[in-house]
Amino acid sequence: MTLQVDLFTEEHDLFRAQCRRFIEKELAPFADQWEDAKDFPSEVFRKVGEAGFFGIRVPEAYGGAGGDHLMAAVWIEECAGTGSAGVVAGLNMHGLIILPALVQFGNEDQKQRFLVPGVRGEKIGALGLTEPSVGSDLANCRTTAKRDGDDWILNGSKMFITNGCRADFVLVLCKTDPAASYGGFSMLIVEKGLLGFDQGKRLEKLGWHASDTAELVFDNVRVPGRNLLGQEGQGFYNAMANLEWERLMMALGAVAGAQLAWDRTFAYVRTREAFGRPIGYFQVNRHKMVDMATDIEAARQLNYHCLRMVLAKRPCLKEVSMAKIFACEMADRVATTCLQLHGGYGYMKEYKIERFFRDVRLNTIGGGTTEIMKEIIGKLIGL
């Protein structure tokens, strides 16, 4: 185990054990079933809510635990044990991205209507940023909203939206003042069932099979004025603030998943024999295991460095971008190496490595591609 005395406390260790018990009982046993069905029941959201895991970063006044980013990091790391990145993506999009955004930017009315039932898992949220023809270039968002009395008229579309089909509400980034550059974006809470709001069909994907991913279409959707999240004109900046945490979440999840794949591969290479001895004792394979262990630990410590900066409220866009690159690219390499060490069995569903191999590939794309991260870092270092 990694020495964590300067970061995680006994309270975090107790919480980690609580997370693990819940995941082992309520999520992991059903992962294969949900993967095959390419869906998981919305009832799972209510179970997670009842257990208190959606309220990790939500104040007690709204039904949460009032925890910090470290508590959230513990939950994220333990979620790897679920065995389905798609399930984890749906749950954590709602609990660790949408709900904290409502805490930070929502008014009291919005908190009562969306945050409180969201903590209980009774209402499910999604985030509408990416668009079909824009991708990572959020500044060129083409979804627009125009004032009409007290309401907004919303037009446009969003793509690759996690929880897109099942969401009861979506936080949608849109352009409300085309002449105002970055200050011309706002965020609207768009509710399920509004006339002209099409939540589309489930998109077929390489991995994350249990995740509900959809295209959203807005055709003259009348959004009530009280559903403006935060200040008008601040939507782009609010979205960027959330993206920084989302990227660190992906880095934490990538390391936890890589560690689990390594653990399973370690057990396999110690028992699988070829040419009269376990394959892990051949130097070439032993060195592969050591290289992976080293990379996993390096990525973990970079993630923890970012967590320390977050806790200290220090700017860490550069470091988080580095962590996302390093951890997600590392997990991709680990998936390939672990599958290769399993040989033909690695290609079989029974050994779970093939699922990790498929699921982990999205990490270098989602939340901002590796290439976008490098562009951000390049600008921050003065290039």
* Nearest one of 211, 170, 228 to 194, comparing CA atoms: 170
Based on the fold, state whether residues 354 and 273 are members of the same structural domain: yes
Give, in order, the Cα–Cα distances in Å from 91 to each of 83, 96, 138.
Answer: 13, 8, 24
Which tokens in the block code for residue 185? Answer: 């974006």
Encode pLDDT of 242-299 as tens digits.
Answer: 889 999 999 999 999 999 999 999 999 999 999 999 999 999 999 999 999 999 999 9
Residues 96, 246: Cα–Cα separation, whole Å: 8
Domain boundary among 215, 233, 251: 233
3-state secondary structure 289-322: HHHHHHHHHHHHHHHHHHHHHHHCCCCCHHHHHH
Mean of pLDDT over the chain? 95
Q: Are residues 241 and 365 in the same domain?
A: yes
Shared domain check, 367 and 250: yes
**Catalytic center residues:** 246
Contact in structure between 210 and 39 (CB atoms under 8 Å)? yes
Residues 278 and 350 in one domain: yes
- Give the domain extent around 227: 127-233
CATH code, domain with 325 = 1.20.140.10
Domain with 224 in it: what CATH number? 2.40.110.10
Q: Do 189 and 107 share a structural domain?
A: no
d(CA 69, CA 279): 40
Cite the beta strand spans of 237-381 per DSSP E: 273-274, 277-278
Domain boundary among 101, 123, 145: 123
**Domain's final residue, options 123, 152, 172:** 123
Same domain, 75 and 159: no
Question: How far is it, in rounded angstroms, from Cα 362 to Cα 210?
Answer: 14
**Total domains present in the chain:** 3
Q: Closest Cα to residue 170, out of 124, 238, 225, 232?
A: 124
pLDDT digits 0-9 by tens, 245-258: 999 999 999 999 99
| DSSP for residue 94 | I
2 pLDDT more than 60: no
Q: Are residues 133 and 217 in the same domain?
A: yes
